[in-house]
């Protein structure tokens, strides 16, 4: 359907008539433009008729141009069919560790060894794309924490920003408490009933201004549920002085703190030792029940003002050309 955004503009339609009847006409010059001694050679019958016809058609064209101009000013808009929007009402922040240890290649993906961050990108990217209806935000943290993507329904952009992240971008250490505090600050700007933080790290808190337990207790008071994921394999083979030897690449992972953070905020702690387990964890998070909210609809709209405006300008140019030709 077509509607006008500013229909009150049509009140200006009678403006030319008001100007014609209320404003006195301009005084005509009394001096003749051309003095001739006789009128014998002039056809005095055809000229008035031709001039009257020109004024008649010019008046109608000017009136039509004025109507089109007012119609354009009223902003005609075409509205499409209503489209239902899938909005669950959940605000979900994803906090990803970019410390130096995330470069450890103890994960495999499609048969090839990859770094922990690369595994997170591969699995978390698919998780983000599946969160239809949630507002997703991205926090990257290392020695410092910062918001890479604010809460948005644009999952494609959030995924792209995650894929562009790099090891050491936020420093080489791990500030878990600052990441939680920043998530609280970001989610506080968008009050919702269901607020979730998914925090992925492979170490313990060794940087930042806020302790992780202090941040967890503050998150609990704010109604923020935190799901913590510990990244890193339990064992891997590395070359040593006496050949290949087995080591624990996750010895710096502070599982006790991550479990406490999840317990205080009524979340859960997960241990991701490989890509299959990480994918399974995201599948579990996928089954979180959203808060029921009233359905929202969206009607696409397209502005049409340029059509009557173009026609009005075309008629105005035609009038100018016609008057110049017949002058």
Mean pLDDT across 163-181: 91
CA dihedral 234, 240, 242, 244 (to 10 degrees): 50
**How crowded is residue 119: how many other Cβ atoms within 10 Å of its Cβ?**
22
> Which of 101, 56, 75 is CA-nearest to residue 5?
75
Query: What number of helices (H) and strands (E) belong to the chain?
Result: 9, 15
Q: Is the dihedral of CA 179, 183, 185, 186 positive or negative?
A: positive
Structure token digits, residue 45: 């019958």
pLDDT reported for residue 31 = 53
Is residue 159 very low, low, confident or very high in pLDDT (cuts 50, 70, 90)? very high
CA neighbours within 13 Å on the CB side: how many for 322?
Answer: 16
Non-local (6+) Cβ contacts of 191 within 8 A are none
The 3-state DSSP class for residue 251 equals: coil
Mean pLDDT across 117-146: 87
Calculate the alpha carbon distances from 78 to 67, 139, 293 in Å: 19, 40, 29
pLDDT reported for residue 55 = 67
pLDDT reported for residue 241 = 62
Going along the chain, which residue ranges are E strands? 2-4, 76-79, 83-85, 90-97, 107-109, 112-114, 135-141, 145-152, 194-201, 224-231, 236-240, 243-247, 269-272, 296-298, 301-303
Tens-place pLDDT, residues 245-285: 666 767 888 899 999 999 999 999 998 887 888 888 888 88
Report the C-alpha gap between 105 and 241 in whole angstroms: 20
Mean pLDDT across 121-129: 85
Residue ranges in 24-115 assigned as alpha helix (H): 46-73
Q: Is a pLDDT exceeding 90 seen at residue 94? A: yes
Tens-place pLDDT, residues 11-57: 988 888 887 788 777 665 555 555 555 555 545 554 555 656 666 67
Report the C-alpha gap between 25 and 19 in whole angstroms: 10
pLDDT reported for residue 5 = 86
CA dihedral 115, 116, 117, 121 (to 10 degrees): 100
On whether the CB atoms of residues 319 and 64 are closer than 8 A, the answer is no
Tens-place pLDDT, residues 201-232: 988 898 889 999 999 999 999 889 999 999 88
Report the C-alpha gap between 130 and 258 in whole angstroms: 25
The answer to whether the predicted template modeling score (pTM) of the entire model surpasses 0.95 is: no
Mark residue 187 as left, alpha or beta (left: phi above 0; alpha: psi -120 to 50; beta: remaining): alpha
Report the C-alpha gap between 299 and 286 in whole angstroms: 29
Specify the pairing of strand 296-298 against strand 2-4.
unpaired
Report the C-alpha gap between 253 and 232 in whole angstroms: 8
Tens-place pLDDT, residues 277-315: 888 888 888 776 454 454 566 677 888 888 888 998 898
Report the C-alpha gap between 29 and 137 in whole angstroms: 75
Percent of the chain with pLDDT over 90: 24
pLDDT reported for residue 291 = 46
Mark residue 99 as left, alpha or beta (left: phi above 0; alpha: psi -120 to 50; beta: remaining): beta
On whether the CB atoms of residues 270 and 284 are closer than 8 A, the answer is yes
Q: Is the dihedral of CA 125, 128, 132, 135 positive or negative?
A: negative
């Amino acid at each position: 359907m077509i509607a006008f955004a500013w229909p009150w503009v049509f009140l200006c339609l009678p403006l030319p008539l008001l100007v014609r009847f209320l404003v006195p006409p301009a005084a005509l010059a009394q001096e003749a433009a051309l003095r001739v001694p006789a009128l014998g050679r002039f056809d005095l019958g055809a000229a008035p008729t031709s001039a009257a016809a020109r004024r008649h058609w010019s008046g109608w064209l000017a009136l039509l141009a004025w109507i089109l101009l007012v119609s354009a000013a009223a902003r005609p808009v075409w509205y499409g069919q209503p489209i239902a929007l899938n909005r669950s009402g959940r605000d979900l922040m994803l906090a990803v560790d970019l410390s130096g240890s995330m470069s450890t290649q103890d994960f495999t993906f499609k048969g090839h060894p990859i770094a922990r961050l690369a595994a997170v990108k591969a699995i978390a990217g698919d998780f983000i794309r599946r969160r239809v209806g949630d507002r997703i935000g991205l926090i990257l943290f290392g020695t410092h924490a910062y918001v890479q993507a604010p809460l948005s329904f644009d999952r494609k952009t959030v995924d792209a920003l995650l894929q562009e992240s790099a090891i050491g971008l936020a420093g080489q250490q791990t500030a878990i408490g600052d990441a939680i505090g920043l998530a609280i600050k970001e989610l506080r700007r968008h009050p919702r009933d269901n607020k979730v933080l998914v925090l992925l790290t492979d170490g313990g808190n060794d940087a930042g201004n806020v302790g992780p337990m202090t941040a967890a207790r503050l998150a609990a008071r704010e109604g923020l549920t935190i799901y913590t994921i510990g990244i890193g394999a339990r064992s891997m083979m590395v070359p040593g002085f006496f050949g290949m030897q087995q080591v624990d690449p996750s010895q710096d992972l502070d599982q006790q703190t991550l479990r406490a953070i999840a317990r205080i905020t009524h979340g859960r702690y997960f241990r991701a030792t490989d890509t299959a387990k990480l994918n399974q964890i995201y599948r579990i998070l996928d089954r979180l029940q959203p808060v029921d909210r009233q359905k929202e609809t969206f009607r696409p709209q397209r502005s049409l003002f340029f059509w009557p405006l173009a026609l009005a300008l075309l008629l105005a140019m035609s009038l100018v050309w016609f008057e110049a030709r017949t002058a």
